[in-house]
Structure 1
């Protein structure tokens, strides 16, 4: 079984601690000053989230395709295997969603109900009949968000006040993405090429061009980013740049002494 906490990115550990401490202190101050008003707000909030979750579930089950043993069995096997490796007591309900050509995947939670949404266009881009590691990388990334508690309602509620501090919330979200990338890479331990290719495919969005995309050339694009504006773009973003994510993934593989499949075969 993979130890999620050991794979947390150092930045997430730092920002998570800061957000929890700051958020907790703010909540303590609010509770001490207005106990009844806060409780009065939390009850309607819980009701609103429950209603939203029911509507979301109705929409999802009525308009998307649920992945299970009877539907997309091979994809379901990947989801279940990764969920087990990450120690999830209950693997989130997973759906293939027609998002009109958008290439993305999401980890979603409403109160206690967890979901993973795989946009169909992304699955089409990544799927290979003889090698499903590219799809596994993306599935593992979304399940990693659940396993690491990134979409946990109570943790999110505790940290919510800290999220309004300029740049802190975005920094925490970026660190969560790096953690999810590391956990996902650990779920694809001997196929570094597939893990990196999955991420580059998110950047290019092209099934035709993916086999011809140079990883080294893509990484060098990071050097062409203006320093000042690159910094500003980064601190305002909820996700790290894809160039940085791929560099971080490769560094993670290097530190774990994992070599590409082709190199092992040699």
Structure 2
């Protein structure tokens, strides 16, 4: 289902505003896809056109006081397009086959897109990442300070090794990095203040 000013207009408005802020002349095509409960979104390129795909469960957040989280997720995907990560991935394909090098490039792209999105939507940065980590209901009850502590406490060879073979950084590390980069205000109970 394609997002437009007549189909999911709230989401389209978010995407249009973010597209202007990021410097696009027009809003990339955005589609909603049923995902069977999975929470994710991704940017892709097909025949020279950029697309953003948002899983339907992420979209539900836009209708439940979670617009900043949805805006962060959309901004993250737009940042992939802006930084031409999809184009570079195609050009760097031979290097992507080198063990550890391909996943390292992908992780760097994720961190870059997180930080760009956090600059565009700071109030949704932590929420957007915690939604991906815990789901569309539990993220509101997550104690961010405990997440930050967890990222500092959990280390070791197996955690390090598992991340080296992954295309995405550990979500706890991503939350930690965005927290320190954006200086989000956390209340005494560990919840993000609006």
> Would you call these one fold, judging by a TM-score over 0.5?
yes
Q: How do residues 96-175 of structure 1 correspond to structure 2 at under 5 angstroms?
A: 96-124=32-60, 126-128=61-63, 132-152=67-87, 155-175=88-108
> Which segments of 5 or more consecutive residues in structure 2 lack a partner in the other structure?
none
Is residue 146 of structure 2 the alignment partner of residue 245 of structure 1?
Answer: no
The verdict on how the C-alpha distance between 1:168 and 1:77 changes in structure 2, with shifts beyond 3 A counting, is same
Change (3 A) 1:109 1:134: same
Distance 2:117 2:14 in 1: 12
Larger radius of gyration: 1
2:133: which partner in 1?
Answer: 203
Q: Give the deviation of 1:221 after TM superposition.
A: 2.3
* CA distance in structure 1 between the partners assigned to 2:193 and 2:142 by the alignment: 22
**Alpha-carbon displacement from aligned partner over 1:126-156 (angstroms, at most 9, x marks no partner):** 325556211100000011100110112xx33
Please state whether the residue corresponding to 1:127 is helix, strand or coil: helix
Partner of 1:229: 158
Equivalent residue for 1:12?
Answer: none
**TM-score (norm. length: structure 1):** 0.66
Greater relative CO (CA pairs within 8 A, separation 6+): 1
Distance of 1:85 and 1:110 partners within structure 2? 24
Q: Deviations over 1:60-115 (max 9, x none)?
A: xxxxx110011111110001111111112332110111111111101010131111
The answer to whether the aligner puts 1:181 opposite 2:181 as a matched pair is: no
Give, in whole Å, the separation in 2 of the partners of 1:264 and 1:210: 14
The 3-state SS of whatever aligns with 1:151 is helix
What secondary structure is seen at the aligned counterpart in 2 of 1:100?
A: coil
Choose from 15, 23, 48 the match for 1:87: 23
Distance 2:16 2:178 in 1: 23
Distance 1:263 1:159, change over 3 A: closer
Structure 1 residue 200 displacement after superposition: 0.9
The TM-score, its normalising length taken from structure 2, stands at 0.89
Cα-Cα RMSD:
2.4
